[in-house]
Amino acid sequence: MASRDSHPQDSESPDNDFHPTTTHHPSYSNQFPQYSRPLIDSARNSWQPRATGGSQHASSPPADDIKSPGWPQMALSVAFAPRFRYMLIYGALFIFAWIGWRMLLSPQLQDQNSLLHSSPHADGLVRIRTLDPGLVPGDMPKVDLGKTSRKRLIFVGDVHGCKDELVQLLEKVSFNQKGGDHLVFVGDMINKGPDSKGVVDLAREHSASSVRGNHEDRILLLRQEMVKTKTLTTPDEGRYSGFSSREIAERALARSFSEEQAQWLENCPMILNVGQIPGMGQVVVVHAGLVPGIELEKQDPSSVMTMRTIDSDTHVPSPKKKGMNWAKMFDKHQAKLYLSLETSTEDPLANAMTVVYGHDASTSLSIRTFTKGLDSGCVTGGKLTALVIEDGGKQSIVQVSCHGYFKR
């Protein structure tokens, strides 16, 4: 019987490449075989060809025979990888979100931020005032005991101190305060022309209404500054004062107003809400303009007195002439609102708004459906314009020629 430690050399092993050798070890009594070759050499895989010519070792193919995948194959492999598809989806979502922010949300936020932050001196201003409904023209003249009740609103463009032309205009429209007429100025009653104090006195005499224009704003702020510096009663020393000729003239005008005249101008609101007029909807008077789609309470005071255009990208109003004319944009906005309500509302005009304004003499008289621009450059030799609105919403334009008191 063969010994337990002996291994017949002539018998065939299960694996021709597996050649264990044993040695005597005092501790382990030869229980664990030891191998003369690395075990990895004994691994068999289906892709590894067996050696030919009696050799039991697999031969590796030459490195030059292994072809690496080309760029198209690598690109396809990456493109069809799930992780890469997820990256594409996330990237597309990020791009769409960025475009939405850049083109839509950011301009709107800038617009709201600009409109909700008032001018530094806006706290002391009268923002909005509503006209007495008893002065507003109605649907049709009422007949009572054979007498016709007539109401007219006479809106007058930028006067700029041209009192003589204002008197002529009121005579031409047959202004009659006791007969139901009410006079409304669109601002810039003063400055540049020869008799600003006379215009203010005439407006007070006729119990007129007016909004605050940028020239009233400038002179009143200048007057407040002169009061603080205690220079209101101190004449300037002409060309030795350090002021320009324009500044000297405006400081002299600020000094010329009495406390009553200055207080009357201070009480003029930036926005005058006239109310509902047949065929015009809600009528509002401002000096320069309004941003469409923004409530009256949220309009920026400075922009209301100075705007000419609205940036088509940011929707922020600007006093500059470059950009889209605010009145044109406002008119389109109101026209769309009217069309959207035409089939669903009995009186769609009641939900529309018409703005009467001045300020922009460069466009002269500009009468649109929902915007009425009345600054026709009187002080520079143009015309002084009145928009007359009667009962039933009937509208007419009356003008007088002006002398050229001021050169730009």
Domains of the chain, start order: 128-213+268-401 (3.60.21.10)
pLDDT tens-digit readout, 180-216: 999 999 999 999 999 999 999 999 999 999 999 999 9
Closest CA to 127 of 271, 242, 288: 271
pLDDT tens-digit readout, 60-87: 555 455 556 667 776 667 666 777 667 7
For residues 33 and 141, give the distance between their C-alpha atoms in angstroms, rounded to a whole number: 124
pLDDT above 60: residue 119: no
For residues 252 and 250, give the distance between their C-alpha atoms in angstroms, rounded to a whole number: 5
- Which of the pair, 118 or 404, is modelled with greater confidence? 404
pLDDT above 50: residue 243: yes
